[in-house]
Amino acid sequence: MYDFLIAPFVEFGFMQRALAGSLMLSLGACPVGVFLMLRRMSLTGDAMAHAILPGAAVGFYMFGLQILPMTIGGLIAGVVVALGAGVVSRFTIQKEDASMAAFYLVSLALGVLMVSIKGSSVDLMHVLFGTVLALNNEALTLIAMICGTTLLTLAIFWRAIIAECLDPLFLRSVSHLGTPVHFIFLSLVVLNLVGGFQALGTLLSVGLMILPAAAARFWTARVERMCALAILIGFASCIAGLLISYHQSLPSGPAIILSAGAVYFFSTIFGTRGVFNTRLRQHRHRTA
């Protein structure tokens, strides 16, 4: 048992860094994923994950596979896409989901094209799917800063974010924080996707944000408990994924996301608000 569960994290530095980075990502991204899900913006998170690609590609084009330039580029691209889609939806007849889809499709194609021109297929796979087992101290520092910023921002704007999530019209009617909180929240989404990009790539980073949150939704209806449970599911998925990757020689990023997916499917069936218990309550109600 020790050799299977603990030894890989004790004996190898790259496993320790991968564990630290993925746990910090879960700590910051999973609560953000809860609010994305409650706002029915889960697919928006996926779109934003693709939207950071051209900015990261610009950083890669100019400086190669260096963390800081790719991160800054991805952050700028994500903010530009989020603001651009927001402006289009607010000042035209097009809804936000359609404008976001248009922006992210263009961004994804542009980013893939730029990486393909500059680098090889290996570089493209690195950008799209990440390398959590190759995290260095610089990447861990960046992820830690993003995690700390996210938790601090959520603590400061907690009530406003919940109000804007559940009833944005009410918040705008009683406070001027409605629009600023919306863009603060979108900034947190972009920030955590950029952090996840270092470990999981643009195509998988949103998975660690959404899947634990979606799984937690089947166990509780309270936002605080949902966030805490999502973080715990994220922790468990990262540990399980890294162990599966190590022992079975599988890609670490997909292993983490598939572990979270397994918890999600289990929760849909056996969660207190899942299929089995819902049907059981309905049966008891009919026979009562």
For 234-281, how does the pLDDT look when each residue is reduced to its tens digit (9 = 90+)?
A: 999 999 999 999 999 888 888 999 999 999 999 999 988 888 877 777
Judge whether 153 and 188 are in contact, CB under 8 Å: yes
Q: Which CATH architecture has domain 2-287?
A: Orthogonal Bundle (1.10)
Q: Answer yes or no: pTM beyond 0.85.
A: yes
Structure tokens at 101: 């889809």
- Tell me how far apart the alpha carbons of residues 31 and 139 are, in angstroms, rounded to a whole number: 21
- Tell me how far the alpha carbon of residue 111 is from its chain's centroid: 19
Residue length of the chain: 288
- Tell me how far apart the alpha carbons of residues 56 and 22 are, in angstroms, rounded to a whole number: 20
Q: Is residue 70 packed enough to be buried (19+ CB in 10 Å), middle (13-18) or exposed (0-12)?
A: buried
Which amino acid, one-letter code, is at 191?
L
Cα atoms in the 13 Å half-sphere on the side-chain side of 28: 30
Contacts (Cβ under 8 Å, ≥6 apart) of 220: 226, 229, 272, 273
Judge whether 224 and 207 are in contact, CB under 8 Å: no
- Tell me how far apart the alpha carbons of residues 71 and 84 are, in angstroms, rounded to a whole number: 20
- Tell me how far apart the alpha carbons of residues 229 and 20 are, in angstroms, rounded to a whole number: 19
Q: What is the pLDDT of residue 70?
A: 78
Which amino acid, one-letter code, is at 169?
L
- Tell me how far the alpha carbon of residue 284 is from its chain's centroid: 38
- Where the chain has pLDDT below 50, the residues are none
Judge whether 240 and 165 are in contact, CB under 8 Å: no
Q: What is the pLDDT of residue 232?
A: 97
Q: What is the pLDDT of residue 243?
A: 94
**Considering only CA atoms, which of 59, 96, 99, 93 is closest in space to residue 75?**
59
Structure tokens at 131: 């390398």
Domain ranges of the chain: 2-287
- Tell me how far apart the alpha carbons of residues 142 and 154 are, in angstroms, rounded to a whole number: 18
Sign of CA dihedral 20, 26, 27, 28: positive
DSSP H helices in the chain: 2-5, 7-11, 13-38, 42-51, 53-63, 67-91, 96-118, 121-129, 137-156, 158-166, 168-174, 178-216, 223-248, 252-270, 275-287
Judge whether 49 and 193 are in contact, CB under 8 Å: yes
- Tell me how far apart the alpha carbons of residues 128 and 103 are, in angstroms, rounded to a whole number: 18
- Tell me how far the alpha carbon of residue 121 is from its chain's centroid: 25
